[in-house]
Amino acid sequence: MTIQVGDSLPSATLNEGNPGGKIDPAEAFGTGKVLIFAVPGAFTPGCSNTHLPGYLNDFDAIKDKGVDQVACISVNDAFVMNAWGEAHGAEGKVRMLADPVAEFTKAVGLDVDAAALGGTRSKRYAMVVEDGKVTQLEVEPDGFGLTCSLSESIIAKL
């Protein structure tokens, strides 16, 4: 079942920086206002050319709307997510979180079989979480498009 507005974030294990950098999103995002966006794959064209750069470019506007943290989640390993963040200058703006076995992605019901990308991946989405509860959720209708989950779409709703 897909997570809905009003639901609490589930516990899961995500990695930040390296496989030893374990975080539980239910704990890490349990207080404050957090904007989480997920992508089907690091270094893929739509994700690298549009989705992540949009959040980086709009970071100040997002913070001005009262968001405390911005995080990007992808079903990739921690080394790939770290390298992708470094390639785009994400440090200090967007937390690059790896979901290597899709534990969180499956727990929120936003997994998709993407054989062209190697198997199970995340649908493209953006969610706003306030004090651990989802207050907004925008999932791309086809799971991969670049419309409702883009930074400018989310900023308009903050």
pLDDT, tens digit, for every residue of 41-84? 999 999 999 999 999 999 999 999 999 999 999 999 999 999 99
In order of their start, the domains of the chain are: 14-155 (3.40.30.10)
Least confident of 29-38, 39-48, 80-89: 39-48
CA angle 114, 3, 24 (to 5 degrees): 85
Q: How far apart are CA 90 and CA 48, in angstroms?
A: 12
Q: What is the DSSP letter of 50?
A: I
Question: CA separation (Å) from 146 to 31, 49, 65, 95, 99?
Answer: 29, 11, 22, 20, 21
**Residues 97-124: tens digit of each pLDDT:** 999 999 999 999 999 988 777 789 999 9
Averaged pLDDT, 24-50? 96
Q: Among residues 3, 12, 36, 47, which one is catalytic?
A: 47
What pLDDT does residue 114 have? 85
Active site residue 148: no
Give yes or no for a contact between 13 and 21, defined as CB atoms under 8 angstroms apart: no
Mean pLDDT of the chain: 96
Q: What's the whole-model pTM score?
A: 0.96
